[in-house]
Amino acid sequence: MAAATTTLPAAVICIGMAGSGKTTFMQRLNAHLHAQKKPPYIINLDPAVKNVPFDRNIDIRDSVDYKEVMKQYNLGPNGAIMTCLNLFATKIDQVIGILEQRVQSITSLLVDTPGQIECFVWSASGTIITDALASTFPTVIAYIIDTPRTTSPTTFMANMLYACSILYKTKLPMILVFNKTDIQSHDFAHEWMTDFEAFQATLRKDEDDELRQGGGGGNGYMGNLLNSMSLMLEEFYKHLSLVGVSAMAGTGIDDFLTAVQEKVVEYDSEYRPELEKMRKKREEEKVSKQQKELDKLMKDMQGVQTSAGPSGSGASKPEPVQVDVLSDFDSDEEGGEMIERDEDEEPRKLGDEEGLQARYQQALAEDRGKKGPQGQNTLDEESFVSYLMANR
């Protein structure tokens, strides 16, 4: 466990709603690490941001033009952001390759995401990028929260539900970063998360204040809903780390870095084995599917052989019949016409069933032996079938 945490740098994916101070937090964290002579490797995944107040090593804007995507695909702001992330996700293997080449010189990896949080968290491209990082580096989610806007039990619970959904979607260690503590202390949030009765008391007080002001409905549906959710999330809070920081004043950054190291240990002990188990399960399912396809193919070929004609005990064995199939021809790339194979190529005969099955089994074994950089099979189903037909 210790070796894994020392040899690979931690990757911190910063996620936060618009206005939470996420970019300012990234700037402060970058300056703090530079002051410690530990410059981070920074990736910007926000294609719509105009100015970034810190240097980036990889910037999505260098690969995708946000305004041009809006124009070419006739999209709105959020749709263009998702499309940019989709285009960038197709090159994530190259990004991981660059990071692996520089792993010896990288002390930490910071990833800035779009302020439109749903464009990253709930999109297929966001999942691809997150899974690619998490499969290579110890990865931690930093969920940035606007503290002054979370003092109400209702908004606090909304943020907690969002954090719960992110944790469920990414399945990675998470740190709740209560930003802007120079304006509002985060002590109330810590109390609500550790003391269920304290949250209930605050909720009842707010309901009473609303009734006194003539708002009405304080004891209705919303109060019961918040009570139920706070009780449900009490167990959820145990899996989160809470840190209060001020991106403007620079306080709490050391506490955040300490929390990151704790989550890296948690990643190695709990999350990495789970990721390996899921990867192994997907690999087994793929092999099982390939075996089923092979069995089905061999069964179909046996049916073809049987339909060629019965051979009783007294009947002589029929001569092998040559069958012309589409795969016996090659495509002429220049003229687009079908041309016949060379005459010196031996045609396939139905009587060669045993030898054909052996070649299929050999091809399947070779496919299982080919592994990618993360241990996955490199040959997909379409390529596998093409390989079989080419080696008939």
For residue range 227-253, what is the model confidence (pLDDT) as tens digits? 777 777 777 887 788 999 999 999 999
- What is the per-residue pLDDT for 205? 84
In whole angstroms, what is the distance from residue 373 CA to residue 99 CA? 13
pLDDT band of 259, cuts 50, 70, 90: very high
- What is the per-residue pLDDT for 344? 47
Instruction: Indicate whether 196 pLDDT > 90.
Output: no
| Range ranked top by mean pLDDT from 119-133, 209-223, 310-324 | 119-133
User: What DSSP string runs through 262-322?
Assistant: HHHHHIIIIIHHHHHHHHHHHHHHHHHHHHHHHHHHHHHHHHHHHHT----SSSPPPPPPB
In whole angstroms, what is the distance from residue 381 CA to residue 224 CA? 52
- What is the per-residue pLDDT for 388? 52
- What is the per-residue pLDDT for 4? 39
Average pLDDT of every residue of the chain: 79
Instruction: Give the domains, in start order, of the chain with CATH numbers.
Output: 10-216+226-272 (3.40.50.300)
Instruction: Indicate whether 277 pLDDT > 90.
Output: no
- What is the per-residue pLDDT for 309? 55
- What is the per-residue pLDDT for 206? 79
pLDDT band of 324, cuts 50, 70, 90: very low
User: What DSSP string runs through 340-359?
Assistant: EPPTTSPPPBGGGHHHHHHH
Mean pLDDT of 252-259: 95
Instruction: Indicate whether 354 pLDDT > 70.
Output: no
Q: Where are the alpha helices (DSSP H) in 11-123?
A: 22-35, 66-73, 77-89, 92-101, 117-121
pLDDT band of 356, cuts 50, 70, 90: low
Which of 114 and 370 is assigned the larger pLDDT? 114
Mean pLDDT of 159-183: 92
Parallel, antiparallel or unpaired: strands 338-340 and 329-331 = antiparallel
Instruction: Indicate whether 358 pLDDT > 50.
Output: yes
Burial of 234 (C-beta count, 10 Å sphere; 0-12/13-18/19+): middle
Tokens of 143: 């969920």
Q: Let me know: does 126 contact 85? Beta carbons within 8 Å.
A: yes
pLDDT band of 58, cuts 50, 70, 90: very high
Of 191, 177, 184, 179, which Cα lies nearest the Cα of 148?
184
Parallel, antiparallel or unpaired: strands 329-331 and 10-16 = unpaired
Instruction: Indicate whether 373 pLDDT > 50.
Output: no
Instruction: Indicate whether 335 pLDDT > 50.
Output: no
Mean pLDDT of 83-112: 92
- What is the per-residue pLDDT for 364? 61
Instruction: Indicate whether 10 pLDDT > 90.
Output: yes
Least confident piece of the model among 1-15, 242-256, 263-277:
1-15
Which of 38 and 337 is assigned the larger pLDDT? 38
| Buried residues in 51-90 as b, exposed as e (16+ CB within 10 A) | ebebebbbbbbeebebeebbeeeebeeeebbbbbbbebbe
Mean pLDDT of 298-325: 58
Mean pLDDT of 42-47: 94
Kindly state the DSSP code that residue 160 receives in the 8-state scheme.
Answer: H
- What is the per-residue pLDDT for 74? 93
For residue range 104-120, what is the model confidence (pLDDT) as tens digits? 889 999 999 998 888 99
Least confident piece of the model among 41-55, 82-96, 134-148, 287-301:
287-301
Burial of 321 (C-beta count, 10 Å sphere; 0-12/13-18/19+): exposed
Instruction: Indicate whether 310 pLDDT > 70.
Output: no
- What is the per-residue pLDDT for 84? 94
Of 184, 189, 99, which Cα lies nearest the Cα of 143?
189
